[in-house]
């Protein structure tokens, strides 16, 4: 960004902070958030918090390999220790409960629960049984993601998501988990953000396994979605009482001008970020415009694949963070043009809650088969510091308030949104950005593992307590 853009962004951030300090974290009367059946929870992911990467039979994952490769992760950080949640899970669940969160979204580490032959690793399975059991004992609803990017390295060595066989190995994994953990899980999510797994992992190399080829990305995506469909059938057979879904990260675009070329560029951005995943899931086909963006990159699709991918969903998880302003690249694609004078987070992402509202309303209109929605991730990174035992994360408070208001507006327009999960419960390993970017509503001192509840979490807890008292 230019210096002017930085100064304007700082001004926008200051205004958001002022708003947060002057206005309590309380939805207005009549808001859907006051309904007891609107679920409010927090989310985490295994590799980002657990640590203990070599304990109790856990196998290496692609993120162990990637983060240990020089230059791949900021400051050379790895998930080897992270938040040490593997050893501190009981106190972390007590903390979650003390904050009055009604639901917890977590992920299972595939390398922790199965060996290379597909047999269960009993110590790993028992860890999740104990964790889920404690959550249920505390009355917390459990939303479990099977795949949050930590593919076993031995499967990557055989081609990873470029190998069709990985989809069948994923179904085996789903079979084992649903047989072992059935009854402990309220909602299963097969995949987290397949766009990131496919495009960042195989398309541009920013994430593990670090490959960079558009053909790789589209084929990896097809196998990821096939894995989802195969696993969904297994989950329905083994654990019929639970809900089954998938989590998609979605992006909002804006055109840099009113020209037809820039409007087309904004459309293609949303095709690539949204329709690439949602059309196969909800329509049983890939969007045709995707191949105008990526000619000659269509994946190999076998007979019956799209029918498997198009399996009915009980819910759709939506992760949303920011808007991207784009213009035509002069060919058949788009290029990003950062806007000046907008509020941004520590990640450099624009704060644009209207994008969440508009996307939800658009999905509701464009997909007749749209199932109920949970916002499974929404939050922001900031450079939070502990001062006198407090963390006053005013920008995050404003961010969460405004995005919850956007969800409320979408509900008023007829969108069936059932709940919202804050990303994240804890500061954690933020993938290629390591430990520098803090998304948690609880601060983690990575040297001492001291947890400090931020002001945002205190206000959420206060609201949830007030809501419960009104029930």
Q: Which of 102, 343, 350, 377 does the annotation list as catalytic? A: 377
Contact by Cβ (8 Å): 87, 52: yes
The token pair that represents 410 in the structure block: 């979408």
Q: Which of 102, 156, 180, 193 does the annotation list as catalytic? A: 193
Quick check: bond before 209 cis, omega within 30?
Answer: yes
The whole-angstrom separation of Cα 163 and Cα 338 is: 37
> Is residue 346 marked as binding?
no
Residues pairing with 125 in the sheet: none
222 contacts: CB under 8 Å, gap ≥ 6: 299, 300, 301, 305
Return the percent helix, strand and coil in the chain, to nearest 5.
Answer: 45, 20, 35
> Is residue 272 marked as binding?
no
The whole-angstrom separation of Cα 362 and Cα 83 is: 38
The token pair that represents 49 in the structure block: 């918090």
| Catalytic annotation present for 343 | no
H or E element: which one contains 334? strand 334-336
CB atoms within 10 A of CB 261: 14
The token pair that represents 239 in the structure block: 């654990």
Contact by Cβ (8 Å): 50, 14: no
Q: What is the 3-state secondary structure (H, E, C) of 67-94?
A: HCCCCCCHHHCCCCCCCCHHHHHHHHHH
Q: What is the full DSSP assignment across 155-221?
A: HHTTTGGGSTHHHHHHHHHHHHHHHHHTTS-SEEEEEE-HHIIIIIIIISSSSTT----HHHHHHHH
> Is residue 48 marked as binding?
yes
Give the DSSP letter of residue 271.
I
> Is residue 431 marked as binding?
yes
> Is residue 121 marked as binding?
no
* CA torsion angle 301 304 305 311 (round to 10): 160
In angstroms, the first-to-last Cα distance of the chain is 48
| Catalytic annotation present for 377 | yes
Binding site feature residues: 48, 148, 192, 321, 423, 430-431
Active-site positions?
Answer: 193, 377
Binding site feature residues for substrate: 48, 148, 192, 321, 423, 430-431
């Amino acid at each position: 960004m230019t210096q002017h853009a930085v100064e304007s962004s700082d001004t926008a951030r200051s205004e958001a902070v002022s708003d947060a300090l002057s206005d309590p974290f309380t939805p207005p009367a009549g808001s859907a958030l006051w309904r007891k059946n609107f679920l409010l929870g927090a989310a985490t992911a295994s590799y980002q918090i657990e640590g203990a990467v070599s304990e109790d039979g856990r196998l290496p994952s692609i993120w162990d390999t990637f983060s240990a490769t020089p230059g791949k992760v900021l400051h050379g950080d790895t998930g080897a220790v992270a938040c040490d949640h593997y050893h501190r899970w009981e106190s972390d669940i007590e903390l979650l409960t003390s904050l009055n969160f009604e639901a917890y979204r977590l992920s299972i580490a595939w390398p922790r629960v199965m060996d290379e032959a597909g047999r269960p690793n009993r110590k790993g399975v028992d860890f999740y049984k104990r964790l889920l059991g404690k959550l249920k004992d505390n009355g917390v609803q459990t939303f479990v993601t099977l795949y949050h990017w930590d593919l076993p390295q031995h499967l990557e060595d055989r081609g990873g998501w470029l190998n069709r066989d990985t989809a069948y190995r994923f179904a085996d994994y789903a079979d084992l988990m649903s047989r072992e953990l059935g009854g402990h899980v309220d909602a299963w999510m097969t995949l987290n953000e397949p766009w990131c797994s496919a495009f960042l992992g195989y398309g541009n190399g920013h994430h593990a396994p670090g490959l960079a080829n558009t053909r790789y990305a589209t084929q990896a995506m097809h196998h990821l979605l096939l894995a989802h469909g195969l696993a969904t059938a297994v989950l329905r057979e083994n654990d019929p009482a639970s809900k089954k879904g998938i989590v998609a990260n979605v992006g909002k675009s804006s055109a840099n001008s009113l020209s037809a070329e820039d409007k087309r560029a904004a459309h293609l951005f949303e095709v690539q970020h949204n329709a690439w995943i949602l059309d196969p899931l909800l329509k049983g086909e890939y969007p045709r415009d995707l191949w105008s963006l990526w000619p000659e990159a269509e994946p190999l699709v076998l007979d019956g694949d799209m029918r498997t991918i198009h399996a009915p969903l009980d819910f759709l998880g939506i992760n949303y963070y920011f808007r991207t302003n784009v213009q035509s690249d002069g060919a058949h694609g788009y290029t990003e043009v950062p806007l000046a004078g907008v509020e941004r987070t520590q990640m450099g992402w624009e704060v644009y809650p209207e994008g969440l509202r508009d996307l939800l309303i658009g999905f509701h209109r464009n997909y007749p088969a749209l199932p109920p929605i949970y916002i499974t991730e929404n939050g922001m990174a900031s450079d939070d510091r502990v001062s006198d035992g407090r963390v006053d994360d005013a920008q995050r408070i404003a961010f969460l308030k405004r995005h919850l208001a956007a969800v409320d507006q979408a509900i008023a327009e007829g969108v069936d949104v059932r709940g919202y999960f804050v990303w994240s419960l804890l500061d954690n390993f933020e993938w290629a950005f390591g430990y520098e970017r803090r998304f948690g509503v609880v601060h983690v001192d990575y040297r001492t593992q001291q947890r400090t509840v931020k002001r945002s979490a205190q206000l959420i807890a206060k609201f949830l307590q007030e809501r419960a008292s009104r029930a």
